């Protein structure tokens, strides 16, 4: 009897790792499927608000009716094409069977799902002219996208070169655009409250915001050496420069874009990990 009991416990003990592995595998597949669903929902909502409205109010009407300085020009909407192409590629990569063992993608997916849900809420808040709420939501989006990017960066050695740089570029580009939106909506808050502050003109406050953005860009690129972040920021700066009715802001935004590109080139050219990875073709 004791021998039979020991035998049964031995079988159960041997099966436990397999059962745990299957549970984990199912969990990863579930959360990665939710990533795809969340992205599709975000695409649908973004497309609807690009052409639709809430109670007759459209994005264009809100943007044109706000006395903001850091507005985006019409061509800024085209940024959604490379941005969403990168995120769609990420969603496809993370559901591939050969990435089931990459458990860190589960954490990345968790942050991505949160960012998608908050982004959907941001559209509603912006169309309802809730600028402070929109500002806080974009702050949360920026935080979660950064957490996803950092997790990818720390575990990028587990990916091949193509997967690594596609995912880092997708999230880096998205993070850059989130930062430029964060800067813009903060200017919306200042402008909508008619706050020039200490007798300074709104143009000067806008310049301070752009300087802060460039400083953050310099720090980020210095740490992570990823030029895709700069591309997202520069796209936004170019859009602001094109749309601004203030000559000084237009010139200053173009100058910030040029400085950002130059700084990224100087930082990355000395230690470009992308070139090193491409040379190491055995990882492809």
Rounded-to-integer distance, Cα 202 and Cα 194, Å? 9
Lowest mean pLDDT among 1-5, 16-20, 142-146, 167-171: 16-20
CA-wise closest residue to 155 among 137, 173, 167, 145: 167
Overall pTM surpassing 0.85 (yes/no):
no
Rounded-to-integer distance, Cα 35 and Cα 263, Å? 34
Which residues are CB-contacts of 132 (< 8 A; sequence separation ≥ 6)? 189
pLDDT band at 157 (very low <50, low <70, confident <90, very high): confident
Specify the DSSP class assigned to residue 95.
T
Rounded-to-integer distance, Cα 53 and Cα 49, Å? 6
Residue-wise pLDDT tens digits, 37-82: 999 999 888 877 777 666 666 666 666 666 677 777 665 667 788 8
Lowest mean pLDDT among 93-97, 136-140, 180-184, 270-274: 270-274
């Amino acid at each position: 009897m004791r021998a039979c009991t020991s035998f049964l416990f031995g079988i159960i003990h041997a099966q436990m790792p397999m059962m745990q592995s299957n549970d984990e595998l199912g969990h990863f597949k579930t959360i990665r499927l939710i990533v795809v669903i969340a992205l599709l929902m975000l695409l649908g909502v973004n497309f609807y608000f690009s052409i639709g409205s809430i109670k007759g109010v459209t994005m264009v009407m809100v943007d044109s009716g706000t006395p903001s300085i850091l507005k985006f020009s019409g061509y800024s909407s085209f940024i959604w094409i490379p941005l969403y192409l990168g995120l769609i590629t990420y969603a496809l990569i993370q559901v591939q069977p050969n990435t089931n063992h990459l458990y860190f993608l589960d954490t990345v997916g968790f942050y991505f799902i949160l960012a998608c849900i908050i982004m959907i809420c941001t559209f509603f808040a912006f169309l309802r002219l809730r600028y402070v709420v929109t500002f806080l939501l974009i702050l949360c989006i920026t935080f979660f996208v950064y957490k996803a990017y950092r997790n990818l960066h720390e575990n990028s050695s587990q990916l091949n070169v193509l997967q690594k740089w596609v995912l880092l570029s997708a999230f880096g580009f998205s993070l850059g655009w989130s930062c430029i939106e964060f800067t813009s909506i903060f200017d919306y808050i200042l402008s909508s409250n008619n706050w020039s502050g200490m007798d300074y003109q709104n143009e000067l406050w806008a310049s301070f915001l752009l300087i802060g953005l460039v400083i953050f860009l310099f720090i980020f690129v210095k740490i992570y050496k990823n030029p895709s972040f700069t591309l997202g920021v520069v796209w936004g700066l170019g859009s602001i420069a094109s749309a601004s009715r203030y000559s000084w802001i237009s010139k200053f935004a173009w100058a910030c874009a040029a400085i950002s590109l130059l700084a990224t080139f100087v930082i990355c050219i000395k230690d470009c990990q992308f070139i090193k990875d491409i040379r190491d073709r055995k990882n492809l």
